[in-house]
Structure 1
Amino acid sequence: MLPALLFICIVVPILAAGACFVVRAQAVRSATVLATGALLMAGSVLLAAQGAFSFDPGTLGGLGWGTLISVLDFLLLAVILFYGFRLKSRLVQILALLQIAPLAWFELFALDHGAAVLPLHGDGLSLLMVLVISIVGSLICIFAIPYMKKHEEHLHLAKSRQPRFFFFLVLFLGAMNGLVLANNLLWLYFFFEVTTLCSFMLIGHDRTEEAVRNATRALWMNSLGGVAFVFGMILLYSRTGTLDLQALLMAGPLAGAVLLPVALICLAGFTKAAQVPFQSWLLGAMVAPTPVSALLHSSTMVKAGVYLVLRLSPLYAGSFLGTSIALFGGFSFLATAALALGQSNGKKILAYSTIGNLGLIIACAGLGTPAAMSAAILLILFHAVSKGLLFLCVGTIEQGIGSRDIEDMRGLYKVMPRTAIITVLGVATMLLPPFGVLLSKWLAIEAAAHNAPLVVMLALASALSVVYWGRWAGMLMSAPFSREVKPEPLSALTLRPLQILVGGAIVLALFIPWIYESFALPMLGESVFSVHYGVLTTGAGAFAVYPLFFAVLVGALFAWWAARKSRFVPATSLYMGGANATGSLEEPAFVGPMNKPVKVAFGNYYLESLFGEGKLTRWVNIAALALLLLVMGGAL
């Protein structure tokens, strides 16, 4: 059964991607995406139920899979080089050649192809990643079916580009599952580069000047990570004699010069995870259709980066390199929280929040303690579900009101009550107890307690995130109304993914103890907290999951009762010092200069003089580069 499940999780999405590209009938393509999503979701659950495994797929028609991966690797790099020439990007060309040349030398002259390396391995972390990729990613692909139809209608395209779009979108899922299950570093590198090509093609999908420019930036920045990966892999092999990831991890922490190749591979993870100062490629990716943003941020691409850093954590645990990686991740968390505070663009807020949460995961990987690793593993899951949900909500709102600016979402409940409620719930799962993101942050801060600079950065960043999340949620439900609101019409393929994701974000929090015991504990071998009647207890405090859920339920019921009761209370216009010009609830105004009515305008303070991108980005990047030099210096 294991070979069949691995085939479903890795190969089926690749075959389905090809079918999406070849088949031009929209109904058949939609059915292919739906069937692939259903197969992936079921296959990932069954694979996770199998538990840890190691597997060698053998040969394909007498040809070794390793040989096939090597050939495909060079073909993939050739495609990237081709786009470097097509885009006239000297940087992409150089970075592609800096991968092709050393990799060719390594494969032909240095690597012992006869050495036994198990190609695939699954443990708690990789199986959790497969669940996230296959379930959250599939829901995003399903959401994309009606979304892309509306998107292309808006663009008035003469010929649909959906076959190409769904080819790369679905291919992403197979590549990511291959990446997290790869035990041979050469296999991992191949899937790593597939995600680079997919992201480039999807970011530039609309073919506008801005889209092409941002896609090119994403390509060269991630190719820089690819170069670091190649040189790190070659150096690691030269000093350890193996590319077997599990063999390396079982050998325990490395020391001395062997840490340099590990640091280079972590650098590849930093670029893929868009950590400061590489954040501009992910911010530029916002020009792509919303399902692309959701997929990049929640279950693919950037998660590949943090997975890589987290996977290698046992190799640098307790070293100066680990400490510097922790500080680097903590700084990214703090810097992007400050930058998000000065934003009103919903997608940019989500992008900065994503980069920050990935920085928190990297900080936990740098700490390397059981508590920190538990926090990182839990955060990967809960962040993926909540962030995927919020991106899809923003896409739905943008198609509904024509804007992604949160100022234009004020009183959204009046026009899009379903989407508004789901979005508010999504924000709550990122912000409030007893949901998993807050639990993970609490656990991370506790794990960093012995590192004073890091714990200060994590606490400040968490506080700033409360501000921008609370501001957004408040606006969605604001504005007076005295009439019944009618649910907005949404297609089933739009509404169901939103409902499943918001339900998953809530329900999964109830199973935090089970998730910890099933995925984190088997990897760590040391219990971080004990559970008694839904109260999670650690050495520094307790997190009462089930009592908090009960309190939230009581509060929600009371709020619902109060809202029902308020329908019978007459609404009044805003009080403006006795100078109201009109009693209208829809367009309130006050008497201004020259005795003329002035329309009331609402707006939030974004403190752009302190937190604006123009003020912070340069200094943030300089500080991040200094910390990156510290990371590389720590390896030396």
Structure 2
Amino acid sequence: MSNLLLLLILLPAAAAGVCYFVRSSAVRNLTVLATGAILTLASLGLLSHGVFEPIEVGSILGIGSDFLVTVLDFALLGVIFFYGIKHKSILIQAFTAAQAVLLAWFEIVMVKHEAVPALAGDQLSLIMVLVISIIGSLICIFAIPYMKEHEEHLHLKKSRQPRFFFFLVLFLGAMNGLVLSNNVLWMYFFFEVTTLCSFMLIGHDATEIATRNSVRALWMNAMGGLAFVLGMMLVYMEAGTLNIAAILTSGNQTALMLTGLGFLCLAGFTKAAQVPFQSWLLGAMVAPTPVSALLHSSTMVKAGVFVVLRFAPAYAGSFLSTGVAVCGAFTFIACSALGVGQSNGKKILAYSTVANLGLIICCAGINTPLALTAAVMLILFHAISKSLLFLCVGTIEQAIGSRDIEDMRGLYARLPRTALITIIGILTMMLPPFGVLLGKWMAIEASADSNIFIVVMLAMGSALMVVFLARWAGSMMATREEGGRCESQPTLTRLPLLILCLGAVVLSIASPWIYNSLLAPWLGSAPFMVGFGSLESAHGTFVVVPLFLVLGLGLLYAVKAGSGYRKVKVMPPYLGGANSSVDGTYVGPMNGDVPFAAGNMYLGELFAEGKLTPVFNALAVALIVLMLGGAL
């Protein structure tokens, strides 16, 4: 078991070293492919083994594991501080120096350094390892042909791919280490590794905007790291242990303990880009698309929600728990509203990501078995659908030179395969009986046991999200032209897209059994019963398999009914009696022919990003202060 766990954590680090130091592109590509395959098999092997009690890791390469992590902690902080100096960021320097001083005091003076089992695995950890290892590996594989074309577009004299793949692959090992950690100090170390990796990847292209956004991401996440250290110190002062399993079962909810847990949640908020910290993740969209996909789906931001979820049992039933739920629900509705006014595909996905992360955090705050079920379901299915959509946007951008959804109008006529996969990905985000909608239904049902304000925010946020997702999908199908031949794509581009698309559908069909085998044992008090391919509870029944059967029959009927529509005469759009004699035009001013054009409404006056963001940020700060103040 120890060997399997270390493989999941250390193999990506070793593979990252190969990618960086061996400059052969063939060796690098083979290393990425082999690492992805091994991580996938290892994660499935860990799942087949099942949950396991916390285990100790004696030494790594002959060095005590706890001592090695401590040394690497300070080395990592030194690297981050160096970049703070390099980019002349006082905030990075201040937050990193404060972390180093507090961590030194904590390690030297406060901690007794008793033997703490370093790694543990419950159902939550196993699901996270699957998400990281499989989806993350597919994204890394997609990056192989993508980065080749990306660098050709930039006309680089010297390839930067060795450094790019170093941090991309290292990310996977850091995330596996974080979700498997049972020692708070280990979790903190991996938490900070993800901070450095994201900084390096966001600034990869070395343009002015990329550098500026990477620096912002670094100082915001360095602030989250400082909150983590403060929370860790306060929790240790009260609990007297670094053992996460012991902390979760202690039942200690003193003011000091809840304050420490509140700071840990604040660290999770920054990492998950919750309002008012969302700007770093929105800025990350300047990075190459595989970076965006990795950050938004299976790493980095999921580290934030994982921290909040991991410590949820320790603050259950407290005011802090309610505060976490309100903060998450507010982020959900705020970012759903901000997404309505966007036409940039990546920015739409970014706001959608932050909103859904807010929904997951809200579920952690509601903290009932039903809410926790919703949270884990959303983590799983959101990761699949969102990684698929980001990779689709990257593919479309390289094909048409734009990520604006207005430029994707009628995309099916030009790129039928990519357009169809993108539309399926969008549908899995917003329609029943797909997994993301199932998770949202569970979240709204769970919020009914909380308070009316959370119910309203979740319902309104869900409605707003449908607006901008449906608008995007409709635009791509808005064509009267017959779809051409499927576009040619490199195998390593097409394969991840097809696997993720198929996974989003097949796993949604299997969601009742996923719940029964993975989540029900973790929850103790299971809120659902599985019957006839449906999830049944006192709150209601979500019909999964029967609805998929109806959906399949409806699709077959639609295909048959529309099979002959190309043979009928295509009429121009009716323009209120003003059609001219030239197809596609209408009679305009001075009786001239004006071309007909279709476009979406973005309701800029109501959902203006520049006007709403400062207001939402101020409200979010007030809610966070109230959350931490209530813990005291």
TM range (shorter): over 0.9
Instruction: Give the aligned partner of residue 166 of structure 1.
Output: 165
Q: What residue is the counterpart of 1:68 in the other structure?
A: 68
In the alignment, residue 64 of structure 2 is paired with which amino acid?
A: G
Out of 607, 611, 625, the residue aligned to residue 611 of structure 1 is 607
Contact 1:185 1:245 in 2 (8 A): yes
Within the candidate set 588, 609, 617, 1:621 is matched to: 617
**Match of 1:558?**
557
CA contact (8 A) 1:253 1:314 kept: no
Range 54-63 or range 530-539, more displaced: 54-63
Overall identity of the aligned pairs, in %: 61
- Aligned Cα root-mean-square deviation (Å): 1.1
Which of 582, 597, 600 lines up with 2:596 in the alignment? 600
Alignment match, 1:41: 40
Secondary structure at the aligned position of 1:602 is classed as coil
Q: Which moved further from structure 2: 101-110 or 157-166?
A: 101-110
Alpha-carbon distance change, 520 to 120 in structure 1, aligned in 2, over 3 angstroms: same
Note if 1:82 corresponds to 2:78: no
The equivalent residue for 2:452 is 452
Pair 558,242 (structure 1): closer, same or farther in 2 beyond 3 Å: same
Deviation at 1:3, TM superposition (A): 2.5
CA distance in 2, matches of 1:197, 1:282: 14
Q: Work out the CA distance in 2 between the residues paired with 1:578 and 1:356.
A: 43
| 2:605 alignment partner, SS class | helix
Q: Say if 2:132 and 2:298, in contact at 8 Å, map to a contact too.
A: yes
Give the superposition deviation at 1:374.
Answer: 0.5
Contact 2:336 2:352 in 1 (8 A): yes
**For the Cα contact (< 8 Å) 2:535–2:541, is it kept in 1?**
yes
Note the alpha carbon deviations across 1:27-60, whole angstroms, 9 max, x for none. 1111110010011111101111111113222113
8 Å contact from structure 1 (residues 573, 583) kept in 2: no
Name the residue aligned to 1:576. 575
Alignment of 1:150-161 (within 5 A): 150-161=149-160
Whole-angstrom CA distance in 2 between matches of 1:172 and 1:61: 21
Query: Structure 1, residues 286-343: CA drift from partner, whole Å, max 9, x if none?
Result: 0000000000000000000000000100111111110111000000000000000111
Runs of 4+ in 1 over 6 A off after TM superposition: none
Q: Distance in 1 between matches of 2:504 and 2:557?
A: 22
How far did 1:479 drift?
Answer: 1.4
Q: Which residue of 2 aligns with 1:128?
A: 127
Partner of 2:472: 472
Deviates more, 1:56-65 or 1:590-599: 56-65
Counterpart code for 2:474 = G
Report the secondary structure of 2:406's partner residue. helix
- 1:94 corresponding residue in structure 2: 94
TM-score by length of 1: 0.98
Letter paired with 1:411:
G
- The amino acid that maps onto 2:281 is L
Per the alignment, residue 112 of structure 1 pairs with 112
Q: Is 1:239–1:258's contact at 8 Å kept on the other side of the alignment? A: yes
How far does residue 61 in structure 1 lie from its aligned partner after superposition?
Answer: 4.5
Alignment of 1:380-391 (within 5 A): 380-391=379-390
| 1:116 to partner: Cα distance | 2.2
Q: Which amino acid aligns with 1:153?
A: E
Q: Specify the alignment match of 1:366 in structure 2.
A: 365
Q: CA deviation at 1:578?
A: 4.0
Change in CA separation of 1:409 and 1:582 when aligned onto 2, cut-off 3 Å: farther
Provide the rounded CA distance (Å) in 2 between the counterparts of 1:575 and 1:405. Answer: 27
Amino acid at match of 1:148: M
Q: What letter corresponds to residue 486 of structure 1 in structure 2?
A: R
Aligned residue pairs total: 630
1:549 is matched by which residue type in structure 2? Answer: F
Task: Using structure 2 for the length normalisation, give the TM-score.
Answer: 0.98
CA distance in 1, matches of 2:328, 2:414: 40
Counterparts of 2:17 and 2:448, CA distance in 1: 50
Change (3 A) 1:21 1:61: closer
Moved more, 280-289 or 246-255: 246-255
Superposition map of 1:491-502 within 5 A: 491-502=490-501
Q: Deviations over 1:4-38 (max 9, x none)?
A: 32132111011000100011111111111001001
> How far did 1:466 drift?
1.1
Q: What is the CA distance between 1:595 and its match in structure 2? A: 1.9
Alpha-carbon distance in 1 for matches of 2:252, 2:258 = 9
List runs of 5+ in structure 2 lacking aligned partners.
none
| AA in 2 matched with 1:95 | F
Q: Any stretches of 5+ residues in structure 1 without a counterpart?
A: none
CA gap 1:139/1:251 in 2 versus in 1, 3 angstroms: same
Distance 1:97 1:608, change over 3 A: same
Check the 8 A contact 1:347/1:394 in 2, yes or no.
Answer: yes
